[in-house]
Amino acid sequence: MQEKYIDETKQGEAFAIAEKPENGKKLFLESYGCQMNFSDSEIVASILNDQGYNTTLVPEEADLILLNTCSIRDKAEQTVRMRLSQFKNLKKEKPSLTVGVLGCMAERLKTKFLEEEQLVDLVVGPDAYRDLPNLLKETEGGRDAINVILSKEETYADISPVRLGGNGVTAFVTITRGCDNMCTFCVVPFTRGRERSRDPHSIIEECKELWNNGYKEITLLGQNVDSYLWFGGGAKKDFKKASEIQQLTAINFAQLMEMVALAVPKMRLRFSTSNPHDMSTEVFKVMAKYDNICKYVHLPVQSGSDRMLEKMNRQHTRAEYLALINKAKELLPGVSFSQDMIIGFCGETEEDHQLTLSLMREVEYDYGYMFSYSERPGTPAEKKMVDDIPADVKQRRLAEVIALQGELSRKRMQGYVGRNHEVLIEGTSRKNENQWKGRNSQNAVCVFDKLEGQNLGDLVTVFVHGNTQGTLLGKTV
């Protein structure tokens, strides 16, 4: 399934971590694309930290440069190529420097990366990070190294991620890897492999560790969290005291979320990303039952047209999607939704486009991630369909979708005005150092003046007195 994006068109995000005094080598690690990539970078940093690498924010200092890449659209890949060209010049000045690519782009291109203008020395797919120490020994011997073997078992469950450059308040906890949904537009099943779920015991332990280390909010993360399903003889023995669920033969996502809510009852809990055909009302009931589970769902739809949904192999209809939305609103008054939308998919007509706009009006999303269709090599759409929507039509339709979402976002933000909200302080406002920023349960960003005695990570009550399209303006009660 298509992933939720961190803005992939911007410069990748580089991270630094606390140094081990005994480490003598420097790693520059930069991530692009979705939240899964940023979470994977924390696993990579942990593995290499044990191999003598401290991280740096200065690429000129590095002995090893790694880019964790995204293949979801061509623009993402071109951004990485431009960055690698810059490092190629750096490598001329520092011949001992090793440059590598990780993640989805590495998995898609494989050996082609090593053949292209000698941009990289190292190519590692998302299931091969444990092999990094061996691969680096190969590069030290002057040889290129590659491992892009996909796994049906790897979840990195036993590796404690190094939390990279975050705010110390919010963190991601990966619960699934890979994807079995074969959406025709999507490259993820080919770059991240088959879907597998992580042992719930390791998930619970990681959440507890984060709470003990001062974190106040976690996001359960996966390409498709709703399809989480773990079978294991230890499930009943390990967890019957941690939840109200008895005599389990398998644990699904709703049950896992309940376990986490009970295991860390003061920790805020979110999840991403969901697929409508796997989402169940059981999830909404658990969300309603526990106050520490935030009332927000990212529920990608991609199109409002049944004809387009069928061509995309989304395995749900418009009516089924709206039924889920309405059930959530019934069980969770005040719940908010965000969307992913692909504009201009193969054969999209003006009628299909209008159906997308009407769906958006009916749901009233708080915000969304909207893109024009970008054909990806190797996908069913690229092999069997024609990308026949002219670029100017795609851009016009995309502009209309973005404009409508702007209207809906303003309306939703206005609906939060005049009420108190529980907001987690996540950092200082980028525009005003005298203000905090944080999010309410519905994931709306709120800024408000700092008061004496308030600290990062505090959960405070904020009265919202105004808004912009994407931000709430408030004051502490």
Residue 115: the pLDDT is 84
Mean pLDDT, the chain, whole residue set:
91
Task: Give dist(CA 69, CA 108) in Å, integer.
Answer: 10
Residue 16: the pLDDT is 56
What is the helix (H) or strand (E) element at residue 423, kind and residue range? strand 420-428
Residue 1: the pLDDT is 34
* Phi, psi of 371, deg, nearest 5: -140, 150
Q: What average pLDDT score do residues 392-409 get?
A: 98
**Banded model confidence at residue 3, pLDDT cuts 50, 70, 90:** very low
Question: Is 90 exceeded by the pLDDT of residue 14?
Answer: no
Question: Is 60 exceeded by the pLDDT of residue 304?
Answer: yes
Q: What average pLDDT score do residues 372-390 get?
A: 96
Q: Please confirm whether the linkage preceding 428 is cis (ω < 30° from 0).
A: no
**Banded model confidence at residue 20, pLDDT cuts 50, 70, 90:** confident
Residue 306: the pLDDT is 98
Least confident of 8-17, 227-236, 315-324: 8-17
Residue 238: the pLDDT is 45
- Hey, what are 192's tokens? 């991240």
Task: Give dist(CA 373, CA 306) in Å, integer.
Answer: 17
**CA distances in angstroms from 5 to 215, 216, 273, 331, listed in the order given:** 23, 23, 10, 28
Least confident of 108-117, 134-143, 268-277, 433-442: 108-117
Question: Is 90 exceeded by the pLDDT of residue 245?
Answer: no
pLDDT tens column, 190-210: 999 999 999 999 999 999 999
What percent of the chain shows pLDDT beyond 70?
A: 92
